[in-house]
C-alpha cells in the first residue's frame, strides 16, 4: 500500500526534531492514530544523513518488540520524506525525568527490564542501537517505554566513526577511542541509563568534553548515598571498560535488582522475546 499525505489527517505538531517535525496524525480509512515524522530532503542531503535514514527505515521496520517503537511505513513527495511511526502518548521519557528529577528504584527497574529485553531482541538480530539515552526513549499512554530513533543503529560489528555530535555522556570507551565496537556498546549505555534514572544526571558528566572523555575512558564515577547496593552492583557490572567483561543482557533480567522490583509475570513476558 503506497501512502500519500492525503491518506492522513494531520494533527498538532508534537515536537521539533533535528531534520524535521513530528505530527500527531490519523490515517483516514482506519482512523488509526500515528506519529508522522516529516523530514526535508534538502536538510537530509545537507546533513549527509540519507544513508542513515535508509538504514533507520530498513532496521526499524523489521523489528517487532513491545518496547521498540514501530515504524509502520514511509513515503515521500518531491520535497519531504514521511515516516509513519507508532504514537507513544506520554512523549519523551527525557522530559518526564527532567520534571521528576530522578526515578525511584522500582520505576527505574521496570523501565530497564523493558529496555534490556528490547536490546537483547535487537542484538539477537545483530542490530546495535548505539544511541541509547533518555532523549531516544518514549513512554506510551500505559507507561510502557519504547526505544525510538534508530538513526544511529547499525548491523554489528561495526567500526563506523560516530561524528561526535550531541552528548558524549553515553559513549563507551571503545567508541571514544574509535575502536571496533559491537553490541556491547548498548550494554555500557544501559549502565549509564540506570545511573541517570536513579541519580538524575549521567555518571561521567563534566563541564567540558575533554573531562567527560577522561572520566569515561578511566571509568571514573561515584554513587550518591541513596543508590541501593543492588543497583550499584548491577551498574558496576555494566560500566566496565573491556566490552567482553560487561554483563550479558540475558543475565540482566536475572539480576536481583531487577527481580526484586519487577513482577514475575512481566519478567516472564520480557524474557519470552529473547530467543
**Minimal distance, residue 207 CB to ligand RO9, in Å:** 25
Q: How far apart are CA 32 and CA 71, in angstroms?
A: 14
Rule CB under 6 A: is residue 118 a binding residue for ligand RO9? Answer: no
Rule CB under 6 A: is residue 39 a binding residue for ligand RO9? Answer: no
Rule CB under 6 A: is residue 87 a binding residue for ligand RO9? Answer: yes
User: Would residue 126 be called left, alpha or beta, if left means φ above 0 and alpha means ψ between -120 and 50 degrees?
Assistant: left
Of residues 131 through 190, those in contact with ligand RO9 by CB under 6 A are: 138, 148
Contact 33, 12 (CB under 8 A): no
What is the x/- site pattern for ligand RO9, positions 43-82, by CB under 6 A? ----------------------------------------
* Total of chain residues touching ligand RO9, rule CB under 6 A: 15
Considering only the stretches 15-23, 106-114, 202-210, 259-267, report the one whose residues sit in contact with ligand RO9 under the rule CB under 6 A: 15-23
Q: For residue 90, what are the CA distances in angstroms to 20, 31, 93, 115, 211?
A: 20, 20, 8, 17, 34
Q: For residue 94, what are the CA distances in angstroms to 137, 209, 254, 275?
A: 7, 21, 26, 30
Beta carbon nearer to ligand RO9, 95 or 241: 95
Where is 76: in which H helix or E strand? strand 71-76
**Minimal distance, residue 109 CB to ligand RO9, in Å:** 24
Is 131 a known active-site residue? yes
Residue 115 sits at φ, ψ, to 5 deg, of -65, -40
Q: How far apart are CA 116 and CA 119, in angstroms?
A: 5
Whether omega before 95 lies within 30 degrees of 0, making that bond cis, reads: no
For ligand RO9, the binding residue among 25, 38, 39, 85 (CB under 6 A) is 85
Beta carbon nearer to ligand RO9, 17 or 256: 17
Rule CB under 6 A: is residue 15 a binding residue for ligand RO9? Answer: yes
Active-site residue, selected from the candidate residues 7, 77, 104, 131: 131
First to last CA, the chain: 31
Residues forming contacts to ligand RO9 in the complex (CB under 6 A) are: 14-17, 22, 35, 37, 85-88, 91-92, 138, 148
Catalytic residues: 131
Amino acid at each position: 500500500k503506497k501512502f500519500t499525505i492525503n491518506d492522513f489527517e494531520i494533527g498538532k505538531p508534537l515536537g521539533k526534531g533535528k531534520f524535521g517535525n513530528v505530527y500527531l496524525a490519523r490515517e483516514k480509512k482506519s482512523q488509526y492514530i500515528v506519529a508522522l515524522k516529516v523530514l526535508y530532503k534538502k536538510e537530509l542531503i545537507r546533513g549527509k544523513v540519507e544513508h542513515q535514514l535508509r538504514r533507520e527505515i530498513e532496521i526499524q521496520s523489521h523489528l517487532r518488540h513491545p518496547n521498540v517503537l514501530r515504524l509502520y511505513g514511509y513515503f515521500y513527495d518531491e520535497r519531504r520524506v514521511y515516516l509513519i511511526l507508532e504514537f507513544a502518548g506520554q512523549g519523551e521519557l527525557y522530559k518526564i525525568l527532567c520534571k521528576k528529577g530522578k526515578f525511584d528504584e522500582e520505576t527505574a527497574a521496570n523501565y530497564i527490564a523493558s529496555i534490556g529485553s528490547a536490546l537483547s531482541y535487537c542484538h539477537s538480530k545483530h542490530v546495535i542501537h548505539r544511541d541509547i539515552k533518555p532523549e531516544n526513549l518514549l513512554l506510551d499512554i500505559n507507561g510502557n517505554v519504547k526505544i525510538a530513533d534508530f538513526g544511529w543503529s547499525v548491523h554489528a560489528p561495526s567500526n563506523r566513526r560516530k561524528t561526535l555530535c550531541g552528548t558524549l555522556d553515553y559513549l563507551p570507551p571503545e567508541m571514544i577511542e574509535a575502536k571496533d565496537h559491537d553490541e556491547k556498546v548498548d550494554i555500557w549505555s544501559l549502565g549509564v541509563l540506570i545511573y541517570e534514572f536513579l541519580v538524575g544526571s549521567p555518571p561521567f558528566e563534566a563541564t567540558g568534553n575533554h573531562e567527560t572523555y577522561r572520566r569515561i575512558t578511566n571509568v571514573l564515577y561515584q554513587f550518591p548515598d541513596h543508590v541501593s547496593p543492588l543497583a550499584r552492583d548491577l551498574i558496576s557490572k555494566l560500566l566496565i571498560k573491556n566490552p567482553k567483561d560487561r554483563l550479558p543482557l540475558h543475565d540482566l533480567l536475572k539480576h536481583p535488582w531487577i527481580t526484586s522490583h519487577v513482577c514475575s509475570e512481566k519478567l516472564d513476558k520480557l524474557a519470552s522475546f529473547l530467543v
